[in-house]
Chains A and B, each alone.
Chain A
């Protein structure tokens, strides 16, 4: 499909390459999203505290929250590589790895969804076959 794309729409294709480069640059710059808040003494987002933080703030840990807080164990929790060493360099590198992993997974999921949604009689298969 991508092949067909490139041949068919040179201008559009150029834009999509540029935009991918943009997303790549954002991935490499992503550690700014943890370094700057850290430097300015900003904590996490409002309403995204851990159970311990909630307990400190409100004096108790809500029962239901206790039960549900660990409903899911995410493999790269907090955008970190499991077992990564402490310190700003490692957390920055881990964050970049998380960004690249997440970008790939999101783009992959979106690509799958698109494949399912594009009609078989639409431009996708039709054009591919015509090209062969």
Chain B
């Protein structure tokens, strides 16, 4: 889901930076007001976890690979705005040091996976968890469903951004200048693999860690 350089035209990648920067600003403002120094190590762990979990490429036999992002899990444990920043930090390091995701696409990738990933994940989790006990099964289910929904929304957005390119960006002869596949190809491709496999893995990881936290440090879920 890490869009590389050259896939998005300038109009799209600039727009995606423009959309993402305000979310970074709001997240920073929220954290500035609420963050306590004792939470700092957890934010670093959250960001590091997002980084490393994305290295676990999950294969579709004979097909493509994908991965979980941890965005929902981090949002549940550290709060949605902390998760926006933590997952963004991981994505920025992935682009700068490892060429995973383009420099021009940092805005888009952070929007898809960090902003949407964390906020949608957290929203769905709160909605389902409601006022249930922090140690309840319902919390685990809420986390799993939220993670599944969130990763799929991220994938859908990525598909739409890529699929719009042939429409927006053409050479005078009508050939695509950037990502060449239309919406009718990009959206189903990205949506299906996440609906059928990668979303389930994201859900399972989220559920497992929430279960672990419930047993070991349930205060983190308050």
Contacts and interface: CB of A to CB of B under 8 A. Distances in A.
Contact of A60 (B61, B93, B175, B179): B175
Contact of A42 (B4, B48, B59, B181): B59
A27 B52 contact: yes
A93 to B, nearest CB: 14
Contacts of B50: 106
B98 A79 contact: yes
Given A77-B99, A105-B97, A42 B35 contact: no
Given A77-B98, A122-B36, A15 B220 contact: yes
Contacts, number: 247
Contact of B32 (A103, A106, A117): A117
A5 interface: yes
B98 A109 contact: no
Interface in B130-150: none
Interface residues of B, number: 80
Given A36-B59, A110-B86, A68 B6 contact: yes
A5 B37 CA distance: 8
B183 to A, nearest CB: 13
B16 interface: no
B180 A26 contact: no
Interface string A46-71: 11100100100010101111111111
A127 B175 CA distance: 62
Contacts of A125: 37
Given A47-B1, A76-B97, 15 more contacts: A15-B217, A16-B42, A18-B216, A26-B49, A26-B52, A33-B55, A36-B57, A40-B61, A44-B65, A69-B6, A70-B5, A74-B98, A106-B90, A117-B28, A117-B31
23 contacts: A9-B38, A15-B216, A23-B48, A26-B52, A26-B53, A30-B52, A36-B59, A45-B57, A45-B65, A58-B181, A62-B176, A62-B180, A65-B7, A66-B6, A71-B103, A102-B51, A109-B93, A110-B44, A110-B47, A110-B89, A111-B44, A113-B43, A122-B37
